[in-house]
A and B are shown apart, each in its own frame.
Chain A
């Protein structure tokens, strides 16, 4: 029919370009389902390294602000997660210097010696996002970035695997309020 010159429907386009974000979204979802392998991108490694660098800086500053490392009594019961982001200004680790794991492990041990450390883990570079949509809950894998919006809360949970973690996340009331939950797997260093 489309080739028939007398067909009035020939004026209808058979192809319409979708929004460019659709491809990224489909790819992220297929990655989350294990159907696609992400291509290696140096930026991802840089992101993890930058996150670690910012963590060092933030904790260093926190230590200064807390008065030579002494916590107030009310702070002693608190725990904090420091979520680190990077931008293009991040400088990669110079060759010939100690590895990031070694550097951050040493730093973490110094914190631990002062009773400040609760958990030291690097986070995986992707998030599994859950959001409520039309009575359904969608699950997508995304690279960590600012597209998820401002972070307003954090839970650390224990789960046997990612499926159980997602099942727990689905029960969170945050979804009922239209919020988005990012489930971050915790990367264990060598």
Chain B
């Protein structure tokens, strides 16, 4: 029905998926609310243009999330705000174990937002959104090994940032 331009059906779709897309966009933008809203707006517009070509090979949520990620990357590039190391084919790194410990939500959001963009996007997609490295590789057009390396670097950065003064948290 959405494909036929049914506004009510679109509203249902929007309400179902946008809170998750907005959470994703907020983290990708490092908590920049206006930019996150732009990303989600543009992602829905793009999805509206392409909905007819959605083949259902992934869930609609994954498909929409992919559009959010790509739109954020475009805006970041256009604004020359792609901070941190660029994503390169660094497939030699060993993936670190998942983050362990008990952390305050605000602390976590803060240190994730402070990660270099390249690390941040892979960390968010893998550890928060639950994408596999293969899915991230397809989404970001990088090698799966690169995704693992970026995740390893991101986790290392997070451990360092979250470590209590004078100690290293595992």
Interface residues of A (CB under 8 A from B): 1-2, 6-9, 11-19, 22-23, 25-27, 29-31, 33-39, 133-136
Q: How large is the interface on B (under 10, 10 to 19, 20 to 34, 35 or more residues)?
A: 35 or more
Identify which of B7, B26, B78 contacts A39 (C-beta below 8 A).
B7
Task: Please indicate which of the listed interface residues A17, A18, A27, A30 has the most CB atoms of chain B within 10 Å of its own CB.
Answer: A18
Q: Are A22 and B108 in contact (CB under 8 A)?
A: no
A35: contacting residue among B14, B37, B48, B127, CB under 8 A: B48
CB distance from A48 to the nearest CB of B (A): 20
CA distance A17 to B40 in the complex (A): 12
| Given known A-B contacts A11-B105, A16-B26, A30 and B44 have beta carbons under 8 A apart | yes
Q: Which of A7, A9, A14, A25: most chain B Cβ within 10 A?
A: A9
CB of A3 to closest CB in B, whole Å: 9
Query: Which of A6, A9, A133 meets B127, CB within 8 Å?
Result: A9
Q: Which of B98-135 contact A (CB under 8 A)?
A: 98-105, 108-109, 127-128, 130
Q: Smallest CB-CB separation from B123: which chain A residue?
A: A9
Instruction: Flag if B78 contacts A135 (CB, 8 Å).
Output: yes
Does B49 lie within 8 Å of A33, measured CB to CB? yes
Residues of B within 8 A of A (CB): 5-8, 10-11, 14-15, 18-20, 22-23, 26, 37-38, 40-41, 44-45, 48-49, 78-79, 98-105, 108-109, 127-128, 130
Across-interface contacts of A2 in B (CB, < 8 A): 128, 130
What 9 A-B pairs come out closest when comparing CB atoms? A15-B19, A18-B22, A16-B23, A35-B48, A11-B105, A37-B5, A26-B44, A30-B48, A36-B7
Number of A-B contacts (CB under 8 A): 96
Set of chain A residues within 8 Å of B45, measured between Cβ atoms: 26, 29-30, 33
Query: B74 to nearest A CB, angstroms?
Result: 11
> Which residues on the B side are within 8 Å of A27 (C-beta)?
7, 10-11, 14
Name which of A1, A8, A34, A36 has the most chain B CB atoms within 10 A of its CB: A8
Q: Let me know if B99 and A8 touch, CB within 8 A.
A: yes
B7 touches A18 (CB 8 A): no
26 sampled A-B residue pairs with Cβ under 8 A? A1-B127, A1-B130, A2-B130, A8-B100, A9-B108, A9-B128, A12-B105, A14-B23, A14-B128, A15-B22, A15-B23, A18-B22, A18-B40, A19-B37, A22-B37, A23-B11, A26-B40, A27-B10, A29-B41, A30-B48, A36-B5, A36-B6, A37-B6, A38-B7, A134-B79, A136-B78
Chain A residues near B109 (CB, 8 Å)? 12
Q: Is the CB of A7 within 8 A of B40?
A: no
Kindly provide the distance from the CB of B88 to the nearest chain A CB, expressed in whole angstroms: 26
Given contact pairs A26-B44, A27-B7, A33-B49, a sample of 19 additional A-B residue pairs in the complex whose CB atoms are under 8 Å apart: A1-B128, A1-B130, A8-B100, A8-B102, A9-B99, A9-B128, A11-B105, A14-B23, A15-B22, A16-B19, A18-B18, A23-B18, A29-B41, A34-B5, A36-B6, A37-B5, A39-B7, A39-B8, A134-B79
> In chain B, what residue has the closest Cβ to A7?
B98
Cα separation A133 to B5 with both chains bound (whole Å): 27
**Beta-carbon contact of A26 and B99 below 8 Å:** no
B48, B79, B102: which contacts A33 (Cβ < 8 A)? B48
Contacting A12 at CB < 8 Å: which of B6, B48, B102, B128?
A: B128
Verify A8–B108 contact, CB threshold 8 A: yes
B98 touches A35 (CB 8 A): no
